Structures are given as structure tokens and as C-alpha cells.
Amino acid sequence: MQSPYSIDGPAKPKAKAIFARRILPGMVALLVAAIVAAAFAIAHIARKIDQDALQQSHFLASKALQAQHDWMNRSIVDYAFWGDAYLHLSKQVDANWAYAQANLGPSLYKDFGYEAILVITPSGDTSYAVIHGELQAVDAFQYLQHGLSELLARAREAAEDDAGASALLWLHGQPALVAAASLATGGADIEEHEGPPSTLVFVDVLDAERLEAIGEQYAVEKLKLLTDPADHAGPAISQTLEDGTAVYFTWTAAQPGRLLLLVTLPVLAAVALGLGLLAWLLVRHALRAMHLLDLSYARLASSRSALAESEERFRDVAEAASDWIWETDEQARLTFLSNRFRQITGYEPKQWLGRPLLELLITDSAALRSWLEAPEITPLRSSYRAADGCERFCRLAARSIRHDGALVGYRGTASDVTEETKAQARVQYLSQHDPLTGLPNRSRLRDYLEQNLASLRSGSTLTLLYIDLDRFKPVNDTLGHAAGDEVLMGVASRLRERTRDGDLVARLGGDEFVVALHRMSEDGGIDRLCNRIIEALSAPFIYEDQQISIGASIGVALAPDDASQANELLRCADIALYQAKDAGRGTWRAYGREMDQRLHERLRREEELRVAIAEQQLEVHYQPRYLSQSMQIIGAEALVRWHHPTQGMLLPEQFIPLAEEAGLIIPLGRWVLHQACQQAASWPVEMTVSVNLSPLQLHDDRLLDEIARALRENGLPGERLELEVTESALLQETQSTLDALKRIKALGVHLAVDDFGTGYSSLTNLRHYPFDVIKIDNSFVAGIEQSTEDHSIVRALIELGRGLQMRVTAEGVETEEQLRLLTDDGCTEVQGFHMSLPMPAEELRRLLARPTDIS
């Protein structure tokens, strides 16, 4: 009798019935369940992917806004902790330095998009405001709505940590990113003012275009302001404004999971159809295949154990994550390496099988053994030598392999972190070095000085050279920053070539360099080195087939003779540099104690002049100008005097140069212009008043407006005002200078060339300028009695003025003979001590009231 389970013979129909009744429904149910489970799994994965993408976009959107906060904080700290900004903006705003010279002016709007730059005094007044790149007068507390006071308070607190503060405020119905920082000297050798400093404020309006640009930097698509959060179902983040209200932002979030569903569901349907067809084929052939199951069962049982080990191995590896997979025995000898090992290291896996892991890694055996005792706690960071000889870095993760509680080996992953390690090293390098020249930066220099000064032995010295480049700013202004960068790199190279191993060459920023030298105590050695450096930096640099010539000034300080602390040594070298530049540039000076006194004296005189201008210790005197034939007074030249509290009356030559160097000539000249127009308004209508213009005033963008305002407010016609420009100022003439003079001339104002004959200006250029008067310099007039050469020059200048159809005025007439010779030569106007000394305005009015008698 045949077995009932035999496939052949009479029992075959029974086997089919059993299969159809028990096995087939299970297969169909399993197939359906698998397809449904796959569909649910794909849907779950798609939803999870979309959730992850949304979460990532939340993070990136927040990161984009925070990055803008951080950037504004860094940017404002760079400007607020700048010594020059503190000097020119904290106590009293120097708008010429800030706006006209573009130190804190329209460039911040053009380059960075800052809608507003504000300086707010401790009392809350807005002392300086640039709105959309234009100088304006605004009230910051009306311009920025709610929360500005709290932001300013946080900025003052943050100043103690050399930091600023930022916040979101409302500006005309739009959120604006506002950064604030208290002005500080930034470590520069500048005397701090009494009381709290002013606060510098930058404003960046987050309009639609700005928000979209910020989002694009972090792959956030269409970042924008959310006007109605209650009706919005998309992604959103909130930012709290300084006044406590919240503003919401939204963006277009990616949906990769949705795309996955659209792609995979049709494929899954096709797979289900194919599986159905396959199941039908399997049913058809199942009975014939059943007798093969017993034969394959034995093979299946034998492979089940190996399969379990393989599954366990790769499950553990997947949990640890990896670049290449490794496995060792209990002695840490390699027993398995994945194919990825070959791609990363360049070695064939079989070269290392059976060899200790320690031979591959660059580490000591004790550290490796200690890590293997508890590898699950923390990864091991190590390095190894790749096949190409390069050192690479990896991070090892592992777990122990145990059978029945006994340790049989270790398995894990090795992630290549070479680029990450190099990036970290690069960040560390950049924190200590200048990115343009590769020289150590200020931070590295300070560390170097502190270490070397602390270890300075008795009898040894450390020499510090503080180098500032001369004529470097015009390179950037005329040829661009690329040319400036090329020059700076060339300077760094030349400085390296002229120093020794162990010495340090550093760049402090801008065009300032420092060289720290050992074994350089002899004055002769310092002199030779400084002269070599000045000579080297004065040699032309080549940029795009064009020669660029600059120069250098050097300040020298010695440790421990001058100072034994890093900051103090730098200060001494900086003072010496200042003296070198004051001596005419292109030279060097060594620090001396008397330099401190001279510097303090100069700063004291600058402050006295500022106070004099603010408290009106100045007075305008007038020297009349006469017609040479009739001796009729036709005008007077305004000459400023300073009633110094201790030194008495000071003449212009005693303080005007100081005003020009200290940046005070523009407010001083503005005051003289208004005083002269006010007092001349009461003179006879045929008289003019002459006012001198400094070359710096010619480049002041507000000069034309000031002239127009002075005439308008005092009711003085333009033809009664004469502005005198020195001939030397025309040596640096530009098209902008000519345009400025033409605009002044359009007001009806007369223009005169002062000190004519001393500036060697081009007669062709002079012919193009809209001048009305030539004033012959008194150095020629003084010699016409004794020198035929001077007399000939004066006669030629008179003829030149007549040929150019200009009036000619001779200055410095001090004798009757000089007056006679000038009159005979045809000079129509004269001025000098022979006719009248400069006098106060009231005395001039009395002179005008009586007949003229010069004989």
C-alpha cells in the first residue's frame, strides 16, 4: 500500500486537496498581507520622510535667521570697537569722517543692504543717521517702533563682554533686524570720554526680497513673512520681537515622501499583479515540487546556522553605521574586512587578514586594549597610513562578540573623518592667521608676545617693529581691492624675506604689520633693518602690467626697556610709528618716553581746539582791501583768531594746521563762513567779504549747501562773497574739484586764487577754472624793492591776470614804495599792513565811517 503522502499513485489527489484546502489559502493570505503591509510601510516611510524634510526645513529656516543675527552682531562689533569710530562718533559726531570719507556711510547700504546706520547718544538723541545711503536727520525712537530702548540697554550690557546685541523690531509695518553695540576704543591708544559712550545701530529691513535671499543661503525656498498665522496650514516659525510680540515666517517645504508615493505605488500595483500571476504558476507546479521539499530541508537546516550568524553580524554593523566593516578575534587580529576597505585605504583586504588591528592604526597598544574593553561606550579616533603613503583619520565604533558568554572577538565600523579633521585644523589655523597673507594675526601675535615676554631672560631683548604702509589707500580707491590685496601679499612676502627663523611677521589688519625680532638690541642693527624694510617696501609692485608704488613708516619699541607687557609694547611701538609718520613718512623712529608727552600734548591741543569751536572762543578779524589808485576800501578778508584761555590771541598759522590734521577744519571753516556773511551783511553794498577755503573743504559734499545757507540766512547776495582757494590745492585737482567750483560759481559767488605764484599750477588748467581774482603771494611783493627778479615776476603775474581778464590783488604791501611800484605796474587792488592791520568787525565798521587816508 502506498503512503498517503506520496506524490505518485492514488494518493496524489489527496495531496492536492490538502494543498488546496490548507496551504493555498495561507499563501494567498500571506501574499495579500505582504502587499498591504508594503503599501502601509511605503506610506509610513513617505510620511516620515516628509516629516523629516519639514523638520529639517524648520531647522534651516531658524538657522538662516539666526545666522543673519550672528552676522549683524559680528559686523557691528567690528565697527563699534574700532578706535577711529569711537574717536569720531562717540563724544561728537564727525560726519565728514563717517559719511564723506565713507567710513560709516553709504557703502554699508550698497555692500550689505543696511537700510539705516544710526548713532544714538546716551541721552537718546540721534546724533548721526544714514538712511538708504543718504545722510538724514531722524529720531531713532520714532524711526524704529517699540523695543529700541530695551535693545540699547542689552547692547550696553554686552559691551562688558566686547559684544553687541541684536533683535527684531518693527519698521514701517515690516520686521527689521537691528543690531546695536556701544562704541569703544577697541584697544586703540585713544583717550576714553567721560560718561557712557554713544551706541552704534545697524538696521536691516526683512522685506520680501531680503527674506527670500536669506532663505536661499540655507536652501529654504521662498522664505517670507506670514501675515495671518491662524489661517496658515503650512510650515511656520515665530520670532519674538524686542517688545514681546511675535512675528511669523513661512516657506515652501519640500515633500519628497509624496513624490515617493507617486513613484512607488504604481510599481507596487504592478508587483502585486506579477505576484498574483506567479502564485497561479506556483499552484500549478506546487504538487510536483512538494517531493523536493524533503530533499532541500536537510540543506536548509545546515545553512540556517550560517545564515543566523550572517544576519547577526550585519545587524550589529548596521546599528553602528560604517564606511568600512571590520571584525577581529579575541586577540584583536583581523578576520574580516569589507570591500569598502579597499576603496578607502587602497589596501587589499587579504593583505591584512590575520594581522593585528594595532599594526594598521597609529596608536599604542595600551590605548587600543583599553578601548576594546568597553568599545560600546565611546568611539575611538585614530589615524593610519594609507597605501599611497598619506596619513588618514578614522573613527572606530565596535562591539564585542560573545558566544555562550565567552568573548570570541570584536566587530565594528571605521568611518573616514579625514576631511573633517582637516577642516577642524583649518579652522584652528584661520583663528590664528590672516586669511589673505597667511601671516599670524593679532590674536597669534598677542600670544607670541606674552609667551616670549614672560620667558625673556636677563640681558636679552625683544624688538618690535610696527609698520604702516604709506599711500596705500589710493591703491584701493583707484585700482580696486584686488590690486590692494596683491600689494598686501607682496608686502608680506618681502617682510618674510628680510627676517630670520624664530622671528615673527604678523598682520594686524588693513595696512598695518608687526615684526617681532630676537637678538636685535644694537641701534645700528635696528637702523639697517628698518632702512632695508623701508627700501624693500618702496620698490614698485607689479599688478596687471602696472607699477604700484607705496612706502612704509616704522615705529620701534624694545622689551623690556620700553615695556614688558604685550599691550604696552604694542602701544609704545604705535606711538613711535605716529612720530615717524609725523616726521614726513618713509622713515622710522624708536620709542622714547618724551613721545608720550608730545602725543598727550598734541591730543590736549586738539581737544582745546574742539572746545574752542564748540564754545566759540574764536573771533573773525578783517583786513581791508583797497583800490590802488583811490585807496577806496572795496572789501575785506576774513581772518580767524583764537582767544586761547592761557596763551592769549593765537594767529591762524598757530592752529589752522592742527585743525586740518585733526579733521576740525571743516566745522571751523563752516563757522567762519557764517560769521563773515553775517557781519558783512551790515557793510556798504559795494563791499565784498573774502573767506579762505581749505583744500579739505573743497572735497566736502555739504560745502555747496553750507554756502547757500550762509547767504540765505544772512541776506547776503552771492556777488558780495569771495572764496579764496590756495593755488597748491589745485595741484591735486580733479574733475570733481572743477565741478564743485563751477557749482559754487553758479551761486553768484566770486572765486580767487590765493598765494598765486607759489604752487606751480598749470596755466592751461588755470584758464579752465572759473576764477575772478588772482592774489599775488606776499613773498614776491616783499622783494620788489630790492630784487629785480621778484619785481619782474610780480609784473608778469599782473600781466597774466590782465590777459586772463581777472582782477589782481597784491598781498603783503608794507611800504609806500611797494605801493607805488605796484600801482605803476598796473595792479588795481592792494592789501597789507601799510594800509591796515587785520581788525575786529566793530573796528572795521568805524573805519568805514571815516574818510580813507593812507599817506
Helix 566-582 to helix 593-614 angle, to the nearest 10 degrees?
Answer: 70
CB 60 within 8 A of CB 286: no
Determine whether 284 is exposed, middle or buried from the number of CB atoms within 10 Å of its CB (0-12, 13-18, 19+). exposed
CB 777 within 8 A of CB 749: no
End-to-end CA distance of the chain: 166
What CA–CA distance (Å, rounded) separates 814 from 824? 16
The pLDDT value given to residue 17: 60
CATH number of 432-591, picked from 3.30.70.270, 3.40.50.620, 3.40.50.300, 3.40.50.1980: 3.30.70.270
- Residue with the three cell numbers 555692500: 111
* Three-state DSSP string of 85-136: HHHHHCCCCCHHHHHHCCCCCHHHHHHHCCCEEEEECCCCCEEEEEECCEEC
The pLDDT value given to residue 827: 93
CB 797 within 8 A of CB 780: yes
Question: What separation in angstroms does the CA of 665 have from each of 602, 660, 672, 759?
Answer: 16, 5, 10, 21
How many C-beta atoms lie closer than 10 Å to residue 650's C-beta? 18
The pLDDT value given to residue 6: 42
What CA–CA distance (Å, rounded) separates 243 from 240? 8
Secondary structure letter of residue 440 according to DSSP: B
Contacts of 261 (CB under 8 A, 6+ apart): 42, 43, 46
Secondary structure letter of residue 772 according to DSSP: -
Contacts of 197 (CB under 8 A, 6+ apart): 86, 90, 122, 182, 183, 184
What CA–CA distance (Å, rounded) separates 769 from 775? 15
What CA–CA distance (Å, rounded) separates 809 from 303? 118
Question: What is the homologous superfamily of the domain 305-422 according to CATH?
Answer: PAS domain (3.30.450.20)
What CA–CA distance (Å, rounded) separates 360 from 357? 5
CB 313 within 8 A of CB 327: yes
In the sheet with 221-226, reading across from the earlier edge strand, the strands are 221-226, 246-252, 236-240
What CA–CA distance (Å, rounded) separates 74 from 84? 18
Torsion angles phi and psi, residue 225, rounded to 5 = -80, 135
Q: Measured in whole angstroms, how far is the alpha carbon of residue 634 from the centre of its chain? A: 55
What CA–CA distance (Å, rounded) separates 202 from 177? 8
CB 831 within 8 A of CB 813: yes
Cell numbers placing 493: 612676502
Between CA 30 and CA 38, with CA 32 as vertex, the angle to 5 degrees is 100
What CA–CA distance (Å, rounded) separates 444 from 428? 11
CB 339 within 8 A of CB 350: no
Contacts of 656 (CB under 8 A, 6+ apart): 640, 665, 694
The pLDDT value given to residue 687: 93
What's the whole-model pTM score?
0.44
**Could you tell me which of 601, 495, 516, 609 has the C-alpha nearest to residue 566?**
516
What CA–CA distance (Å, rounded) separates 687 from 432? 67
The pLDDT value given to residue 464: 92
What CA–CA distance (Å, rounded) separates 409 from 401? 5
Q: Which long-range contacts (CB under 8 A, 24 or more apart) does 484-491 make?
A: 485/436, 486/541, 486/543, 487/541, 487/543, 487/548, 487/550, 488/436, 488/437, 489/436, 489/437, 490/541, 491/437, 491/537
What CA–CA distance (Å, rounded) separates 638 from 642? 13
Consecutive H or E run containing 688: strand 688-693
List beta partners, residue 165: 180
What CA–CA distance (Å, rounded) separates 786 from 794? 13
Question: What separation in angstroms does the CA of 574 have from each of 78, 176, 437, 579?
Answer: 20, 40, 22, 9
What CA–CA distance (Å, rounded) separates 94 from 659? 13
Secondary structure letter of residue 356 according to DSSP: B
Mean pLDDT by 10 residues, the chain (855 residues): 42 54 74 82 82 81 83 86 84 86 84 88 88 88 83 86 86 86 81 84 86 82 77 76 77 79 82 79 69 62 68 55 78 87 88 88 82 80 87 87 87 86 83 89 90 80 92 81 92 91 88 88 79 93 89 92 88 89 86 74 80 86 93 94 88 82 85 94 93 86 92 94 80 68 92 73 65 88 89 90 89 93 92 93 88 51
CB 544 within 8 A of CB 569: no
CATH number of 604-848, picked from 3.20.20.450, 3.30.2270.10, 3.20.20.140, 3.30.1330.10: 3.20.20.450
Amino acid at 545: D
CB 838 within 8 A of CB 622: yes
Q: Is 667 strand, coil or helix?
A: helix
Tell which phi-psi region holds residue 220, choosing left (phi > 0), alpha (psi between -120 and 50) or beta: beta
What CA–CA distance (Å, rounded) separates 763 from 70? 57
